[in-house]
Amino acid sequence: MVGCAGKSASVGNGAAVSSAMSADYVVLSPKSVANNISVTGTLMPGESAMLSAQTSGLVKQIYFKEGQRVTLGQLLVKLDDRQWLAQRQKLDAQLAMAEKDLARKQQLLDIKGISQAEVDDAALLISSIEADKKELDVMIDYAAIRAPFSGLVGLRSVSPGAYLAAGSPVARLVQVDPLKLEFSVPEQYAGQVKKGQLLRFSISGNDSVFLGTVYALEPVITETTRALRVRANVPNG
């Protein structure tokens, strides 16, 4: 530090008064800073679906109780499928006869007893019957309403013996583990949110702090709100 040049004043025995200056100082050390963004979100089921029939029919049996936990593929409702089963048995018999007829005609063709066209017609009949069987199998499968995922069944809207039209609601099924947390981040903070990022949140009326993991972001900012929609997985085990 450079001071002004000048003659020091003398005191007493001739000693010079010190020209040193006192100064305050601060020691700096690195520390991490938390950049928290507080937003409001909505906690939702992991999956949610209204179960419905894909075909019309009488409700033959209900295999679940309201509020019950069910697993993927579990049979929940069975419609009366007796007419389709009877038609399938009829087609099975027709197919067996058509296969025997084809085998006989192929033997006749070998000895020039019939034309190739007759053999082709017999083979075409078999293909047609097999196609009809596959169509019936689909209808029989439609008569069984199964859980598309594991979850919790809500209140049912049908009873055994009731006629259920195609598309009519049966009950709502929700996946309760994991849950989804959806929230929106203001545009100026959108660049700070990344897939795989951990977050903490609380629920109204509960002092506990829960954890989630960001798994998806909208590719664009919502024009009306100028915010980025984000979803996170929340374990609920």
**Which residues pair with residue 79 across a beta bridge?**
59
Going from N- to C-terminal start, the domains of the chain cover 55-79+144-174, 82-142, 177-237
- Residue 65: count of CB within 10 angstroms of its CB: 10
Q: Return the pLDDT at 196.
A: 96
CATH of domain 55-79+144-174: 2.40.50.100
What was the pLDDT predicted at 28?
72
pLDDT value, residue 24: 66
The per-residue pLDDT for 118 is: 94
pLDDT by position in tens, the chain (length 237): 344 445 544 545 555 555 566 666 667 777 766 678 889 999 999 999 999 999 999 999 999 999 999 999 999 999 999 999 999 999 999 999 999 999 999 999 999 889 999 999 999 999 999 999 999 999 999 999 999 999 999 999 999 999 999 999 999 999 999 999 999 999 999 999 999 999 999 998 888 999 999 999 999 999 999 999 999 999 987
**Which pLDDT belongs to residue 2?**
44
Q: Which long-range contacts (CB under 8 A, 24 or more apart) does 195-199 make?
A: 199/232
pTM for the whole thing? 0.74
pLDDT at residue 207, rounded to an integer: 87
| Contact yes or no for 209/201 (Cβ under 8 A) | yes
The yes or no reply on domain 177-237 and CATH 2.40.30.170 is yes
Query: Rounded to whole angstroms, what are the CA distances from 186 to 2, 44, 116, 125, 231?
Result: 52, 21, 75, 65, 14
* All residues at 6 or more sequence positions from 112 whose CB lies less than 8 Å from its CB, including other chains: none
Tell me if 55-79+144-174 shares its fold with 177-237. Answer: no
Could you tell me which residues are beta bridge partners of residue 232?
A: 181, 214
